[in-house]
Amino acid sequence: SPHISVSNGARTLAVESVLSDGYKTDIVVSLESSKNDKTAKDPIDLFSVDCGQEYGSYACNSLPDFDKGKKHYYDIKLTSLKNYISETVNISVNNEEKPLKVSVPLEHSTASKTISIDTELYKGKAYKPESVELSPLGVMLIGSEGKLSENTEVTLPDIALLMKDGSKEDLDLGGMVDFGTEGSGGGVVVDDGGLFNRSTPLVTESAWNRNPGKKDVIAGYFSRIIDLDNVKAVLVDGTEYTVK
């Protein structure tokens, strides 16, 4: 069930997924109509977003592959030059006769799980993974690098989800280039058609960003929604970390 939801009688706005390292925030919301469906042609005009301080950029994209009847999904992305992990993001739907607004606390949000990685295992390595954030619709790997020259490609750790039924989902986040410089980028890892085909890898798109806090953030976006209650552990280079 959604972490946060609110209704004005005509439509229901719900928070489905939250991923944030304080600088880069990815929030997936759903908007469901009780009667005739009315949505803005451009998703970026559908919502107003405020996080208590000025953010660097804002984007909103529809997620039609996840839509169910009158329930539509949207991906809201925020970036900031200041860390706002302790802030609350307020999301409201524009042009509603009755207010429709949700407040999303980024810190300790139960819409995602944070797994700390044993950094002692990566002493002397070029890249040191520090934590994994997991949500129903994506994963975020947060770490730091040593002294590297520009355009240095670093091998990322192998990450997988160990499910309670004994199955395993590999998370291919791709490689990262331009370590040692602030920036961002991304690309499709795989697209063989049919997002809901179980043979399709769970991660189908990834993006990276080196934030002003000198942390490297790699985000992976899932091809299907997962139930976090069904995840037993996260495997990082073979080391098992229990998801609580």
* Spatial distance between the Cα atoms of 211 and 23, rounded to a whole number of angstroms: 7
What is the number of residues in the chain? 244
Boundaries of every domain in the chain: 4-105, 113-242
**Mean pLDDT of the residues in the chain:** 79
Residue 14 has pLDDT above 90, yes or no: yes
Q: What does the DSSP assignment read for 63-97? A: -GGG-BTTEEEEEEEEE-SS--TTSEEEEEETT-S
pLDDT of residue 195: 36
Does pTM surpass 0.75?
A: no
Instruction: Write the pLDDT tens digit of every residue in 55-106.
Output: 777 889 898 888 888 899 999 988 776 777 778 899 999 988 788 999 988 8
- Over residues 27-43, mean pLDDT: 76
| Domain 4-105 bears CATH identifier 2.60.40.1630 | yes
Give CA torsion, residues 116, 15, 25, 69, to 10 deg. Answer: 120
pLDDT of residue 153: 64
